[in-house]
Amino acid sequence: MKQTTLDAKTIDTLRDLPDMIPVMRDFYEDWTIKVFDRKHHECRNYLSPNRRDFYKVLMITEGAGVFTMGLNTYYIEEPTILFIHPNDIISWKNLSDKSGGYYVLFKRVFINDHPQLKTTIDKYGLFNEKEKSVIRLKNSDLPILNSLFERMAHEDLSNNQLKDDALQAYLQLLMVESMRVAQFPKPDNVSDEYHYIHQFFHLLEKETSGINYTSPIKIKTAKEFAANLSVHPNHLNAVLKKYTGQNVSTHIRNRLLEETKALLVQTDWTLQDIGYSIGFAEQPNFSLFFKKNTGITPAEFRRSYQATA
């Protein structure tokens, strides 16, 4: 089964069914690489605790914020380029109203289709070796990097039949130029509270990333997660509420809903099997849970998506 999971910010934009289906189709199927100018897209605070189906290269040329990747925190106030693996637990907190730079998203299938790109990714380790994933830039480094992103953005809008070949070549050049000027900053100190946050999301991802009807989720309550992290449930709730605005149970529920939507869209499993995968022994209880949190039944959700296919 092909697994694709949207990040938490994207899921929040998909709550309203009439707007959800075309956007969801686009996110699941209709692209393998996209390029964005940060000036033209609102840069909000976000936490992305779940695996994604895409890699991300983010260059920040203007603005300031706090970026976390796993247990590493970076205060970004000068030009920086970030290489983010799909499995990274990341967050961003704006410290200014300004926003400048670019970012490119590309899916795993894009790498599979371009072996040369995979070779370059493996060679430099920018996505996999966390000490290399954040690179400080000098102003003198920006012209060539900006030029590469601008060419990628232009190519992304074209209908040229060689577009993907060009884009993968620009991505390789982007990594080469980044390594050429690389200055790897040391992470700033992370608090114990952030430690608990990232431990929780790591465990949540571990518990949900491979669930199916032969291997259903094993723990799914706030008390069970807290016990596994050797922390009192009240303290874990308080920390998550402070930094994310949501408690433990809400994060667990949203993650299970997210996985459910992927299973409904991407598999032909029965509702009984999907419900069992996420911890419901009885299919009616699963349907009630889904409808309570989305406004429609799982069957209606699946039919609405199939109707647009």
Cβ-contact 220, 214 below 8 angstroms:
no
Residue pLDDT, tens place only, 123-132: 999 999 989 9
Instruction: Over range 281-292, report the average pLDDT.
Output: 95
Instruction: For the chain, report the end-to-end CA distance as a whole number of angstroms.
Output: 18
Residue 59, classified by CB atoms within 10 Å of its CB into exposed (0-12), middle (13-18) or buried (19+), is: buried
Who wins on pLDDT, 239 or 171? 171
Who wins on pLDDT, 244 or 230? 230
What per-residue confidence (pLDDT) applies to 166?
97
Q: Where are the alpha helices (DSSP H) in 157-282?
A: 163-180, 192-208, 222-228, 233-244, 248-266, 271-277
Tell me the two tokens of residue 274. Answer: 């999907």
Who wins on pLDDT, 2 or 249? 249
Q: How far apart are CA 243 and CA 25, in angstroms?
A: 31
Considering only CA atoms, which of 287, 208, 278 is closest in space to residue 8? 208
Q: How far apart are CA 178 and CA 120, in angstroms?
A: 12
Q: How far apart are CA 104 and CA 106, in angstroms?
A: 7
**Entry pTM:** 0.62
Decide if pLDDT at 25 tops 70. Answer: no
